[in-house]
Amino acid sequence: MTEGNFVDYIKIHLASGKGGKGSTHLRREKYIPKGGPDGGDGGRGGHIIIKGNKNLWTLFHLKFKRHIKATHGGDGGKQTSTGADGQDQFIEVPLGTVIRDTKTNKVLKEITEDGEAFIAAEGGKGGKGNAHFKTSTNQTPRYAQPGIDGQEVDVTLELKILADVGLVGFPNSGKSTLLSVITAAKPKIADYEFTTLKPNLGIVKYRDMKTFVVADIPGIIEGAAEGRGLGHRFLRHIERNSTLLFLIPADAKDLRKEYDILLDELRRYNPELLDKDRLIAISKSDLLDEELKTELNQELEQKFKGMKFVFISSVAQQGLEELKDMLWVNLNQ
């Protein structure tokens, strides 16, 4: 998928169908001079239904469909025949899509399961035909109900990727390289900042045919809350990750300070992110010799008291199995 095809935020206008009107038909048969009312009910207007599809990863297919309408219900007929219901319109979205009312910003529904459906705009009810209004004192009612109008709503669809582990780190911390090594994903990798302009997903194959999903979130920088770099545009995607893996390169000037800056940016975006499990991977550790690594390990045990960390090198394939073990244990404890 190209970066231009990844769409995770879209606004659309929905208009459900109007209900059909009831019939005022009166029976006219040769040998029944006073047949009475036999007008049928109008059909229901079409719903607009948002439905989860596990095979979708983006909202790109809705990028050019900003107005979606359902058809109206059919009018009632003679012999108490009910009008046809309007055709429902289905909007398929990836799992992890949040549906909001655009005007109030209220969350209406979160789609998290395949096939899960939500009626975003309900079709209008059909009107009752005159057959419903016959009484002993009014045996030939010549009136029926009109159909009820459908709904018109503006909704915002916001995709939050469903993954077990979210990679957090500054640009060039090695997130994309790690993802490309431990999964079959092929993210764009280059030696400059903001190589990753969209989230990437990969499935890690673990022992005994077990798997878990890792998401590479575009790098944040100090000041992202003020809009620097890519800002917080993609941080919504780690809100559903159960574990956050912080990648800090071994050649960073101050590893603890870098971690604290990342943590502060997450807090400024959403303080609830700090409640998630956190692990630390010291990337690019192939730059360290054994003596320096031992010395740094002792230093980090003091700086990251109680935090689990591991030295890894994606390029040299070092520490990756230990990292997988650490992640798997954390995900299943």
Q: What residues are designated binding site?
A: 169-176, 194-198, 216-219, 283-286, 313-315
List residues forming the annotated binding site for Mg(2+): 176, 196
* Tokens describing residue 176: 């994309």
Q: Which helix (H) or strand (E) holds 118?
A: strand 117-121
Within the chain, where are the H helices? Answer: 175-182, 255-269, 290-303, 320-331
User: How far, in Å, are 41, 45, 149, 184 from residue 16 at the CA level?
Assistant: 19, 7, 8, 42
- Of 93, 69, 232, 231, nearest to 156 by C-alpha is 93
- The Cα 143–Cα 125 span in angstroms is 17
List residues forming the annotated binding site for GTP: 169-176, 194-198, 216-219, 283-286, 313-315
82: which residues sit within 8 A by CB, 6+ positions away? Answer: 40, 41, 42, 43, 76, 126
322 close to 329: Cβ distance less than 8 angstroms: no
* Tokens describing residue 120: 């975003």
DSSP category for residue 318: B
- Residue type at 251? D
Q: How far apart are the first and last CA of the chain?
A: 34
Match 């993609």 to its residue by tokens.
Answer: 234
Neighbours of 259 (CB within 10 A): 22
- The Cα 306–Cα 276 span in angstroms is 15
Q: Is 103 exposed, middle or buried (0-12, 13-18, 19+ CB in 10 A)?
A: exposed
Q: Is 168 exposed, middle or buried (0-12, 13-18, 19+ CB in 10 A)?
A: buried
